[in-house]
Amino acid sequence: MKLITHPFDRDKKRQREFIENVDVAFELVHPNKHDILLKFVKTKITGDATSKLIVRDLTHTWALVKGILEEKYAVRRTLHFYACRMFSVRQEKGESVASWGSRIDEMQTELREAARRVCRPEEILGALGLIGHLGKACFVQGLNNERI
């Protein structure tokens, strides 16, 4: 219950966090308790997002609910968009190194998700490895000159 602290109300910025937290909760809970957990998760989905679930009758598993949330609320841009953004972003004046690192991590996650959507299964492992290395390079490249 502590993993799912914030409700999901169709805020696209919080959608990934909500889904990841619910995924972890389902991994931690014994399978015979999944039905109860799903009922709890559904109570955490509010506003317009609730109506999307009500309209779609097939919400008896987390996989189905997750699919609806991703279909309706995920921001999916091209691989090119995420790569260009990661390569061009810079640490802002006054931004801590920790905050800068967190922003790069978030961009890497978005780039990984885009890569998973477009890569063939045999390409995914290499793409994810490359993205990890690129993230480190972008972190160093984007550091503010005063910090180096």
Angle between helices 62-73 and 48-55 (to 10 degrees): 120
Mean pLDDT of the chain: 83
Q: Bigger pLDDT: 64 or 53?
A: 64
Q: Is the pLDDT of residue 122 over 60?
A: yes
**Long-range Cβ pairs for the range 42-47 (8 Å, 24+):** 44/4, 44/6, 44/7, 44/8, 44/18, 45/7, 45/8, 45/9, 45/69, 46/7, 46/8, 46/9, 47/9, 47/10
Q: Which residues contact 74 (CB under 8 A, 6 or more apart)?
A: 12, 15, 16
Q: pLDDT tens digits for 134-146?
A: 888 888 888 875 5
Q: What pLDDT, in 10s, does the model give residues 29-48?
A: 899 999 999 988 888 888 87
pLDDT of the residue at 97: 87
Cα distances from 23 to residues 6, 19, 53, 94, 109, in angstroms, run 14, 6, 18, 35, 16
Instruction: Read off the pLDDT band of 56 (50, 70, 90).
Output: low
Within the chain, where are the H helices?
Answer: 12-28, 34-43, 48-55, 62-73, 79-88, 97-118, 121-141
Q: pLDDT category, 125, cuts 50, 70, 90?
A: very high
Residue 93 has pLDDT above 90, yes or no: no
Say how many residues make up the chain. Answer: 148
pLDDT at 123: 92
pTM > 0.95: yes or no: no
Name the percent of the chain lying above pLDDT 90: 10
Query: How much is the average pLDDT of 115-135?
Result: 89
What average pLDDT does this structure show over 96-110?
88
